[in-house]
A and B are shown apart, each in its own frame.
Chain A
Amino acid sequence: MCGIAGLINQKRIRENGKRIKKGIILQNDRGSGLGAGFAAYGIYPEFADLYALHLMSADAQSLAEAQKILEEHFFVHAAEDIPVWEHIIAEHPLLRRYFVEPRSYRLAQSVCENADDYTIEKVMALNSTLEHAFIFSSGKNMGVFKGVGTPQDIYDFYCLDNYKAYCWLAHNRFPTNTPGWWGGAHPFNLLSYSIVHNGEISSYGINQRYLEGFGYACRMQTDSEVVAYLLDLLIRRHRLSIEEATHVLAPPYWSSAEGITEGTVRDNLVALKIIYESAMLNGPFAILAACTEGLFSITDNTKLRPMTVGHAGDYSYFASEVSALYEMDENLLTVTTPRAGQPCIVRLEAEAASHYAEAAVQ
């Protein structure tokens, strides 16, 4: 059991984390204090074109090693300690962030097709090489903040009142299969894809082996990380639409995929099921995922984990519990519960002048 909350403004109007904090704290019963985290989109407009790498390290030596590796492969435009309020959580890893771009000659020499692939390769390599340091957030103009603690503690620890985002994700963890550790907290992120997950992925064994075949290394000791990597593979590298990607992760049953008679739709669903069999998720899950296109939820075919959605104007809200939707916005216009296996997708409007708009609320 875990708790999920998310909100997005389709016009990219940014606000600090107060509302998402309320949404996730209301669901405190869904967690055990062994992990919580947030993802925020639009928080680094001054570095919007740079990869924002969030790094955690158990000790100074590992941090130095990681930094050396980063500087070898990337041009680091800025680096700083992630501001934290230490008295909230005394025992925490060293946390640092780097705003980087791939060194152009290194990128040219590499076998990677583009800067995104290059960045993933270096992030995965660093996470696999160093035992006590890893990068847990690697997107542009976004960041993940997570750790072991309650949502309240993690929120305050990372001073999330001070960030403004147009899209927030939050998670409250109740770990059951893997240890509660800083790296195992949600969200899981790769480039711009972040996910929070409630449930258990029974197909993890094959999802992980499938991803290894595309160069993704699973190192976080928990099943949920595969979802972030799968989204990167499906949407960014294989150019599937969000809808198609959700059909891969939570496909219709064969009986319905093969039974639908409209030519192209059926063929496409069957083709997706055949080609991406090993990417299919099994087990109980409700997943909320964010990317540069927007925010979307997926649930398993029998909906063994809850997901509710609320809308009010340009705002959309997702949560495990309806009460959390109202906690984030008491003036909701609609509240819906997606049917089992049905995705709910909220797309951002095309980037416009509103890019730097600030929320008047809160």
Chain B
Amino acid sequence: MTLAMTTPGLRSHFRPQFDRECCDGCGQCAEECSFNEIRMETRAGKKLPFANGRSCGACHRCELICPRGAIRIAEDKMALRRHGVWQTDAVNRVHLQAASGAVALTGLGADTGVPVYFDRLLFNACQVTNPSIDPQREVMETVTYLGRKARSLEELDNQSGDGCSLIRLNTPLVFAPMSYGSINLNLQLAMARVARKKGLLWYSGEGGLHRDLYPYSDCVVLQVASGRFGVSHEYLQVGRAYQIKIGQGAKPGIGGHLPGEKVLPGISETRMIPLGSDAISPAPQHDIYSIEDLRLLIYAIKEASGYKPVCVKIAAVHNVAAIASGVVRAGADMLYLDGYRGGSGATPAVVRDNVGIPLELALAAVDQRLRDERIRHQASIIAAGGVRSSGDVMKAIALGADAVAMGSACLVACGCHVCQRCNSGKCPWGITTNDEKLAARLDPAWAEERLSNLVDGWHHEMQEIMGLNGIYDIGSFRGNRLILRGVGLSDRELSVLGIKHAGE
């Protein structure tokens, strides 16, 4: 009686529903559910699955794995009295926190109703006066060079020898930084292989570079984050480029914390920390309290690495354009801009949902600011944070991005159904977990094929969008905002985006 009184709350919003006629009682679903939502019971001599009704998060693992196709995940919200302010999620969160006294954690990117500006942008297309180009039959090129470029041929000729080399991409896509720890080695290996095969880049994230991935270091951007995990002399030699992580779109201004129980042998070795110890990434880098300090670190890494390009990753915050300008002037060769909807393996929901600004606005402001200050050529911009499709990619490129990062999209390609429980370490698809049994569910060869297919699909679509605009080289698409028109946007939004409204 008292138990019910002390644990009020909402049960899970989802529930597996079983077609018991069809079910043969194999019990695979109970096996697969890492959240213990399903239990098997014997009724009238037949083993049958039952839902606990407490922990289904709609990962759809059981539904898709069931050999008989006998499961459907259904929405199953408690029928709260309708209220314009106290909606289910708000009530739920209060209940959870009242019970735990803890910060509410979540995973992936913000799921709020903040406008997705990509959805308010539309492309132009050729009609009559300018023939479109069919990428199936004609040349359509997406080669992109990243890094610090000269402003004129004369400047290039006069450059001294210590200029950083440029990085060539076959197509302007990179795999976003996701650390070994937040994801497992199987996915990192798949990304590394696809990056190598397709002429792209992959980012290590802050968890260091596992020994098994050293063979793929010629196409990796290795991260130096506030925890300095895995940073060794050798680490600073082998990468194609280095990234200093200042902030992350899903959690601007805060650090990270990989709990000790997730610091397993491989992770401990790669991060160079004791087995089972908490891996704390401080909120700021404690040797960077100012732009001057950033400059010191950029050049320290350049010196240590033999002048490899250095990328600085910042979260999109209010004053992002001025910050970006400072970062470029401090010597960054690439600026990685992570927007409000960027993903995370674990972030406080209050931060994820309430801090930072959307990528589209930040990107437009940064690109324009660097142009106004005539330093746009000094650094390439890599846009990240909530990019779902090739359409989003091309919109980001038209707004001014040099390349675009695929993060959450990679997870989805490998089975993720966006249940947003990456922080639990129980990912039933074996993606954001290092639990040996769960991680084994992600076959690196299969993941490689899926990622490879996704890159191919997006690449074809990107070429289509270029072709229907009569453009055969992505260089003429980049920063070409006349290709975009806005729908349903205010004058102020259009002005920040630097685009016209549809019909103009």
Contacts and interface: CB of A to CB of B under 8 A. Distances in A.
B143 A202 contact: no
B475 A278 contact: yes
Nearest to B129: A176
A278 B479 contact: yes
B479 A206 contact: yes
Interface string B447-481: 00000000000000000000001111101111111
A278 B482 CA distance: 14
B469 A202 contact: yes
11 contacts: A206-B480, A209-B479, A209-B481, A213-B371, A258-B143, A274-B145, A274-B149, A278-B479, A280-B473, A282-B473, A282-B476
Contacts of A244: 153
B150 A275 contact: yes
A337 B306 CA distance: 50
A181 interface: no
Contact of B166 (A206, A253, A274): A274
B233 interface: no
B479 A275 contact: no
A240 to B, nearest CB: 6
Contact of B141 (A177, A202, A253, A274): A253
A84 B20 CA distance: 93
Interface string A192-219: 0000000110111110111011100000
A265 B482 CA distance: 34
Given A282-B471, A283-B471, A284-B131, A275 B476 contact: no
- Using C-beta atoms within 8 Å of the partner chain, give the interface range for chain A: 35 or more
B145 A283 contact: no
Given A254-B141, A272-B153, A280 B475 contact: yes
Contacts of B131: 284, 304
A87 interface: no
Nearest to B145: A274
The 5 A-B pairs with the shortest beta carbon distances in the complex, nearest first, are A205-B482, A203-B476, A282-B476, A205-B480, A277-B475
A202 B145 CA distance: 21
A238 B129 contact: no
Contacts of B166: 274
Interface string A224-241: 000000000000011110
B151 to A, nearest CB: 7
A237 B156 CA distance: 15
Interface string B115-156: 000000000001011110100001101010100011111101
B139 A275 contact: no
A253 B130 contact: no
B472 A301 contact: yes
Contact of B482 (A204, A251, A258, A302): A204
B371 A238 contact: no
